Amino acid sequence: MDIRPNHTIYINNVNDKIKKDELKRSLYALFSQFGQVMDIVAMKTMKMRGQAFVVFKELASATNALRQLQGFPFYNNPMRIQYAKTDSEVISKIRGTFGDKDKKKDRKKKAQDQVANVAKKPALGSASTNNAPTTMQVPDNPPNYILFLNNLPEETNEMMLSMLFNQFPGFKEVRLVPGKHDISFVEFESEGQAGVAKDALQGFRITAQCAMKITYAKK
């Protein structure tokens, strides 16, 4: 029987060599393109290795992410994505309390508390912060097939930016600047393709504090 759509998606075949904090940040950067992410659960226990859950605020966001990222090469492993069996599966997976109906209400309340707590952490933004790209007025240069990124958070890495930008046609590569964590260059095949990505991701927040600023690189 097919699993009914819900706000939580379950991901497996995740590269289990990635540190938990980096993994959660990268999942957030990738999935928050599709809508507001309420929670991400990724654990390093034997039972949960190679697996993760992403909880969206809107059902449509979960559905879109599942379709668009099915088989996406996340840290070189193609992700296998499906809807979680129930919205509360995140919490029951952690606690091993599948089938414990008597505690269902209690789990639901604690799940909501966990979502509220995780949403406050800087790495995952805040519940009151709209993490979707916002329209920003950034002084710009003439069109170029290379984009210049600044105001990036310290934990930004090449994989994280690649996952953001390779959703757009024509993406070629990300180039970090040694010794400067807050800037980067992203190359596309054409000026037009670079412009589409620039407009779509202008103001995207990798963390709650840092809204990414994107301009065309100087020629």
Provide the token pair at 205: 């927040």
Cβ-in-10-Å burial (0-12, 13-18, 19+) of 160 comes to buried
Tell me which of 16-20, 63-67, 95-99, 211-215 is least confident: 95-99
Of the given ranges (52-61, 127-136, 166-175, 185-194), which has the lowest mean pLDDT? 127-136
**pLDDT over threshold 60, residue 133:** no
Q: Outline which parts of the chain fall under CATH 3.30.70.330.
A: 8-90, 146-216
- What mean pLDDT comes out for the span 132-142? 63
8 vs 52: CA distance, rounded Å:
10
C-alpha–C-alpha distance, residues 90 and 84, integer Å: 8
Report CA torsion sign: 29, 33, 208, 214. positive
* CA–CA gap between residue 82 and residue 4 (Å, rounded): 10
% the chain with pLDDT above 90: 25
Q: What is the mean pLDDT of residues 46-54?
A: 86
CATH code matching the domain that covers 8-90, chosen among 3.40.50.970, 3.30.70.330, 2.60.40.1080, 2.130.10.30: 3.30.70.330
pTM of the model: 0.53
Q: What average pLDDT score do residues 175-195 get?
A: 91
Domain 146-216 has CATH 3.40.50.2020: no
Reading the block at residue 178, the tokens are 């040694």
